A and B are shown apart, each in its own frame.
Chain A
Amino acid sequence: MDSAARALGAEDVVAAIRAEAARRGVTVDIARNGSRGMIWLEPLVEVETDAGRIGYGPMDAGGVAAIFDGGPSLGLVEDLDWMKRQTRLTFQRCGVIDPLSLPEYEAHGGLAGLRRAIGMDQDAIIDEVKLSGLRGRGGAGFPTGIKWDTVRLARADRKYIVCNADEGDSGTFADRMIMEGDPFCLIEGMAIAGIGCGAVQGYIYTRSEYPDAVAVMRRAIAIARKAGVIGPDVMGSGRAFELEVRVGAGAYVCGEETSLLNSLEGKRGVVRAKPPLPALEGAFGRPTVVNNVISLATVPVIFEKGAACYADFGLGRSKGTIPLQIAGNVARGGLFETAFGMPLGEIVQDLAGGTATGRPVKAVQVGGPLGAYLGVDQFDTPFGYEEFSGQDALIGHAGLVVFDDTADMPGMARFAMEFCAMESCGKCTPCRIGAVRGVETLDRIAAGDGAAVALLTDLCETMTDGSLCALGGLTPYPVMSALRLFPEEFGAMKGAAE
């Protein structure tokens, strides 16, 4: 029931399986699960056998009869190269279980983390998160345990856990996959956060563009409440934690945490100046943890397996695993969870198999619309927070969008500015005015005015240094990286761009 699988025809496949089974007089038990993340194999049908699950895909209605006839399969899904090479911690259950079956969730390790956390003191819970090395998976990479500790220590009559599920970056879909494929995992992570920080109310702020995720999440919350996983007495602990889904309304900037908080409160999604930090003055003026879906959904496995086990994975200060989302013009697109450190080139050429069009890769935009373009000569960069910073790039929410050699880089740079102009909340001048001027300047460059390149560079510096939040502050990343990588396309002398 993953929406990517549905968008590729999964409902037709299910109908065809039912019809074929009826025609043959065979009884089939059809379970709907989330996606394993092998989007190029979706719709993927898995048949349960004594040896394990056998995969058939990409499937369409016409191919269904072959499954019944024992036709050619992909073999055991767990043995596929894409699956075997992963370290699935956050996504261990995604694509495996029925997302709305709490018994299946528990049978696959679910709720073990929350049970353990309930038996711990608040400071021990925070220490566990600190020790795991978990950093914010939304892009900023801030240590999650330190944020939680700030909220725990703040004095207030009410505190909040807010899950930032406003996954608006192109090339990212990990949040959506967790919400559709393993929603209890996010609920469990938020409940642990609530108990650890002393918060009794949680909100999941997500997007109107994700109607399936909203529906699954709301059903899962109702099931969890009925089972006592959340509610007035979390798993018999005597502690309360309530949870509610809130839906945005098509504003990209609401993925920025302070803008999100304003939106949650029913205001214009305008960015707030920091300080005060949301950890001290967040939702409704109260101390608030704002964490990304993946950060929160990784908490249960940290408590299930132990912080040290989680921290054993990774590279340098980038500990644990990261769900890479490989997208755009790729032969094999999807989600691949792995320890930090895999070189960019291995991800693009080896895992993704190069481009879907079969043409050479020109550039990869990493980290969404505010992420830099990286060229093929940067392919040895290991995937990690600091490693990407060193390349004037960022990993963001770990989405990678691959472009082939037909990509129009000045066009992409212009789009970045156009998008920023459209989505700017208007609070600060460098973003509100700068993005509009950026579009105009790129149009001048496109019209042959090489002198405007210096102006664009200067404008980008102003936006980087002067913007209040990442929207205006990081839009120069895709623009300047495109200019640095492909100066000739901007009609600029190489020297002028540097």
Chain B
Amino acid sequence: MRHSDPTADDITTLIETQMHLEGPLLPIFHAIQDACGFVPESALPLIAGRLNLTVAEVHGVMSFYHDFRKTPAGKLVVRICRAEACQSMGGSALSAAVLDKLGLDWGDTTADGAVTVEAVYCLGLCACAPAAMVGDTLIARANVPRLERAMEGAA
């Protein structure tokens, strides 16, 4: 991920990579976010123009989905599962401890831009809960020391 503001040409190129698909809007958002780390506001009129939609419609679709970001996340994204199976194994205490340690609320990023902590609702690791994801790494039977080690390793 580049985490930099892409140019209009970059965005247009990314849009074109998905135009052969039926219903290309979500794949376009994913392609832009994968490349840039977020979907900049400047992309919306370009997408709208290409798909013959209004900017409001494109904004409406993007804002419906939790995944798509309007601004870049921290360098490292930590996602902790809040769903029932993880709650049954102390997931709430785990996330409270991590958030407290970093002085964050859900969705916030540390002041130095290093870490964003997000809630996630099920990673499919329910038989080895609680579960978390540090960057691209899945962690089962998570606890504070294991998450801290993973965060140090990824930093």
Contact = CB atoms under 8 A, between A and B. Distances in A.
Contact of A403 (B27, B60, B88): B88
A207 to B, nearest CB: 8
The A interface is mostly helix, strand or loop, or mixed, namely: mixed
B57 to A, nearest CB: 9
Contact-residue size bin, chain A (C-beta under 8 Å from the other chain): 35 or more
A246 interface: yes
Contact of B124 (A208, A210, A267, A329): A210
B136 A407 contact: no
Given A6-B138, A268-B61, A268-B64, A356 B124 contact: no
Interface in A104-129: none
A39 B60 contact: no
A365 B122 contact: no
B36 to A, nearest CB: 15
B105 to A, nearest CB: 15
Contacts, number: 150
Tell which of A250, A284, A407 has the most Cβ of chain B within 10 Å: A250
Interface in A21-54: 39-40, 42
Contact of A266 (B61, B121, B141): B61
B66 interface: yes
B121 A412 contact: no
Contact of B127 (A40, A268, A270): A40
B128 to A, nearest CB: 5
Interface residues of B, number: 41
B89 A328 contact: yes
A169 B127 CA distance: 13
Contacts of A6: 138
Contacts of A176: 124
Contacts of B68: 249
Interface in B30-61: 30, 51, 60-61
A404 B140 CA distance: 20
Contacts of B128: 4, 7-8, 39-40, 42, 333
21 contacts: A3-B123, A3-B125, A7-B123, A167-B124, A168-B122, A169-B122, A171-B126, A209-B123, A213-B124, A246-B26, A248-B67, A250-B67, A251-B65, A264-B26, A265-B23, A268-B60, A269-B64, A328-B89, A328-B129, A335-B127, A415-B84
Interface of B: 21-27, 29-30, 51, 60-61, 64-68, 81, 83-89, 120-129, 131, 136, 138-141
List the 7 closest pairs (A to B, CB-CB), nearest first.
A333-B127, A266-B25, A170-B83, A249-B65, A327-B126, A250-B66, A7-B140
Given A266-B51, A270-B64, 5 more contacts: A170-B85, A250-B65, A284-B23, A326-B127, A365-B84
